[in-house]
Structure 1
Amino acid sequence: MGELIVVTGPPGAGKSTLAPHLAERLNPSVLVPGDWFLSLWRRGAVPPWLPEAAAQNEIGAAAAARTVGTFARADCTVVYDGVVRPKELPRWLTTAGDPVTHYVVLLPPADLCVERVVRRSGHGFTSEEATRAMHADFAAEGLERYVVEDAEAPAEELATRLLEAIAAGNHRVPAPGDPAPEG
């Protein structure tokens, strides 16, 4: 079975900039953009940051998890670029078939995330309020072990450092039944 690298964090953290650089350095690899699953909705779509989008978001997340699991079972290293909050991760990984997973959290300053989101001007995730709330959620989760230092570094440099950290097991999510990692 292949492995899974989940590149996550709040909107504007740099996930979609970094993820392709990781996927390009792995062989075989697949890049799965989580936003794509939400973009499939045509009529009746609800902006994903609104509370009434919960069911829609859950369907998209389940489809994404099944997709990454399918590629991982085909012995590909899958790089998933999307928001997978820590409290959602166990269920999401179960849906994916519990591949060996590395959880990479990008958490640059909230103001930088907001600046990037506002620059999107009308496409994708554009809610400043939701961006700040999600940043606060990730910051409050006690994810120090998974948070990438200097997430604002150039993507190529960051990809090199991350792949070294992943190879060392620094971002590995314990498998079901494994003891929790120290630190």
Structure 2
Amino acid sequence: MSAMRGWPVLILTGAPGVGKTTVARLLADRADRAVHLESDRFFQFIRAGYIEPWKRESREQNRLVMRTVAETAAAFASAGFFTIIDGIVLPRWFFEPMRDSLRAAGLDVAFAVLRAPLELCMARAQEREDQPPGSRPVIEQLWTEFADLDSLEPHAIDVAAKTPDQVAELVLKTLRSGALDA
């Protein structure tokens, strides 16, 4: 892929285990200049006072982290990098504030939700070394959050029977068509 200058910031989201990080890496590797921002890593910057992001009392922390991700993405995108935000950007919590922050920086935004069956996501997520015990209810809840996107349904991409490379190509094709514009 040639330079991605002028492309929107891509918010790539979906349930744990759906393949966000793998696909984001593949997309970034196809560009001449790209930045792949894993929002999970931003949570790891908090060394003291960290609250698990799925807990109710983490709301302010989560907003701060997502605002920081958006500001970082805006800086890279403004410098001409194809910028991919990879993380759990829930439509009802974080999507609109993140999109609005990026738009306020004068940037176009695209939103893609990767989807796979719950059991596939669960199996992939539980293969990870860093997966805490007892995480199944959290994964199920997050998967449910992406099951009904309401007006954002056209942004869903079914990844169940596809390889990561096929998903990356489908995301690029859909991105180029403008169907993921947010």
Where on the TM-score scale, by shorter chain, does this alignment land: which range?
0.7 to 0.9
C-alpha offsets along residues 56-113 of structure 1, whole Å, 9 cap, x if unaligned? 2111111001000111111211011111112332211222325211111011111221
Q: Which residue of 1 aligns with 2:146?
A: 138
Q: Which residue of 1 aligns with 2:116?
A: 108
| TM-fit CA distance, 1:119 | 2.0
The answer on whether the counterparts of 2:35 and 2:76 sit within 8 Å (CA) in structure 1 is yes
Q: Which residue of 2 aligns with 1:3?
A: 8
Structure 1, unaligned runs of 5 or more = 174-183
Q: Provide the alpha-carbon RMSD of the alignment.
A: 2.0
Q: Which residue of 2 aligns with 1:148?
A: 157
| TM-fit CA distance, 1:130 | 1.4
Q: Which residue of 2 aligns with 1:18?
A: 23
| TM-fit CA distance, 1:27 | 2.4
The answer on whether the counterparts of 1:49 and 1:127 sit within 8 Å (CA) in structure 2 is no
| TM-fit CA distance, 1:29 | 1.2
The residue type paired with residue 163 of structure 2 is P
Identity of aligned residues (%): 27
Residue 55 (structure 1) aligned to one of 60, 73, 83: 60
Q: TM-score, normalised by structure 1?
A: 0.85
Structure with greater proportional helix content: 2
C-alpha offsets along residues 118-176 of structure 1, whole Å, 9 cap, x if unaligned? 22244479721111111111112223311112345211121112211111112111xxx
Say if 2:109 is the partner of 1:119: no
Residue 128 (structure 1) aligned to one of 119, 127, 136: 136
The residue type paired with residue 153 of structure 1 is K
Q: Which residue of 2 aligns with 1:99?
A: 107
After superposing the two structures, state which structure 1 stretch, 164-173 or 150-159, moved more: 150-159
The answer on whether the counterparts of 1:11 and 1:125 sit within 8 Å (CA) in structure 2 is no
Change over 3 Å in CA distance of 1:2–1:76 after alignment to 2: farther
Q: Aligned pair count? A: 173
| TM-fit CA distance, 1:117 | 2.1
Q: TM-score, normalised by structure 2?
A: 0.86
The answer on whether the counterparts of 2:117 and 2:160 sit within 8 Å (CA) in structure 1 is no
